[in-house]
Structure 1
Amino acid sequence: MASVPLPNGRSTVALHERAEANLRFIRETMERAALFTAVPGWGMVAVGLTATVAAILSAAQPSLWRWLLVWLGEAGLALTIGASAMWHKARRQDHSLASAAARRFFLAFVPPLVVGGLLSIVLVGHGVYDLLPGTWLLLYGTGVMASGAFSVRVIPLLGLVFLLLGGITLFLPFQVANWAMGLGFGVFHIGFGLVIARKYGG
């Protein structure tokens, strides 16, 4: 479709080009405004159950190194469960994990976890095991709260709860801090997971 010339020599933009531009703008705006809703409630419940078991097992370990191995194994298992449950929920809801909303969610969630991993290496290298529980809870809470800005409203609340618990845990004796992790990664995940599963489609 040709453009229509104006008396001053300029021409109007072709109608179909303007329509395409408007549709593209609307689509991009809606995508930016969309929330990431594929956070898996039942997956969180499963992670909470395994974390509760990990807290019990780790408390019975005879050495700090074996205590650490239990929680590292739990972290790997939780990552596997969470990723699988998220993929299944996104597929069921016909949502893409490569959408703009998902990318914003992951860009907010992942960096604090990476920082937590690096700090863990440093703390273990210096033998400062007693700071690990509080550090893990704080940085996980930071990631959850930040990513919650792009997800359903209960997610930032979960992050805030982890931040408060992590701050307290930093000042607790090591044996008590282990149970604080069981409370956070176990009980809180189960409770919030049930809420998400009930209100946000599984």
Structure 2
Amino acid sequence: MRAQDAIDRLGLIHDQLARAEVYPGFRPPAVALVGALGLLAAAAQPLAPVGFVAYWLGVAGVGGVIGFAAAARSYAHEEDDLERRRTRRVMAQFLPCLLAGGAVTVGVARADAVQLLPGLWALLFGLGVVAARPHLPAAVWFVGAGYVAVGAALMATADAEPSGWAVGGVFGVGHLATAVALRGRREECHE
């Protein structure tokens, strides 16, 4: 066996190991903080539907910064090359749902069907969670499936004026449930 073949095989072995391990970059405190932010934002949302999309995009932006900052800190200061490869893989699996959510938001807002957005956002986010599931604790699959089911139910029962609880409540509870699943997995790994 040539040296280059051995190096190539080591790369394949690293890729296989990265797929088999649970990704530690989603930090339970950061995920829980995003969940709390969602619940607080739902409680604080103005009753008037004017600005609904802008309000929730702002909340999502703040939540995204919190989550990204925690993962970026881990990536920059705590992860080795193998863990960084896994981080890139998990992010690549999750990114399409975020991009689709942005595209759907623009299209639905332009079509004046904003009442469908809470369900669509939950559905797309749930698909992203399920897509990243191979690198997350098994319990996270149930959270992803919950987002998908709730998203479908919200779309089927959408009122003319969307409720902040349909966004903040769903994402708040979903993120808190994810934090519990992540925390449980961390405690298992440290025993």
TM-score by length of structure 1 reads 0.78
How many residues matched?
183
Residue in structure 1 matched with residue 36 of structure 2 by the alignment: 49
Which structure has more helix as a fraction of its residues?
Answer: 2
For residue 198 of structure 1, report the CA deviation from its aligned partner: 4.0
1:29-178 maps to which residues of 2 (within 5 A)? 29-34=13-18, 35=21, 36-58=23-45, 60-62=46-48, 64-90=49-75, 93-95=78-80, 99-174=84-159, 178=164
Q: Is the 8 A contact 2:118 2:167 kept in 1?
A: yes
Give the alignment partner of residue 191 of structure 1, picking from 173, 177, 187. 177
Superimposed CA distance per residue, residues 65-117 of structure 1 (whole angstroms, 9 cap, x where no aligned partner): 32222211111001100001122344564245983322321221111211111
Q: Is the 8 A contact 1:169 1:177 kept in 2?
A: no
For residue 48 of structure 1, report the CA deviation from its aligned partner: 0.3
- Larger radius of gyration between Structure 1 and Structure 2: 1
Give the unaligned 5+ runs of structure 2.
none
State the alpha-carbon separation in 2 of the partners of residues 124 and 97 from structure 1: 41
3-state DSSP of counterpart to 1:152: coil
Q: Which range moves more in the overlay, 26-35 or 71-80?
A: 26-35
Superimposed CA distance per residue, residues 148-174 of structure 1 (whole angstroms, 9 cap, x where no aligned partner): 123332333321111111111112243
For residue 23 of structure 1, report the CA deviation from its aligned partner: 5.2
Percent identity over the alignment? 22
Q: Is the 8 A contact 2:115 2:162 kept in 1?
A: no
Q: Determine whether 1:28 maps to 2:12.
A: yes
Q: Is the 8 A contact 2:119 2:152 kept in 1?
A: yes
State the alpha-carbon separation in 1 of the partners of residues 25 and 105 from structure 2: 29
Please identify runs of 4+ aligned residues in structure 1 that moved more than 6 A.
none
Root mean square deviation, CA, Å = 2.5
TM-score by length of structure 2 reads 0.82
Superimposed CA distance per residue, residues 122-145 of structure 1 (whole angstroms, 9 cap, x where no aligned partner): 111121111000000000111111
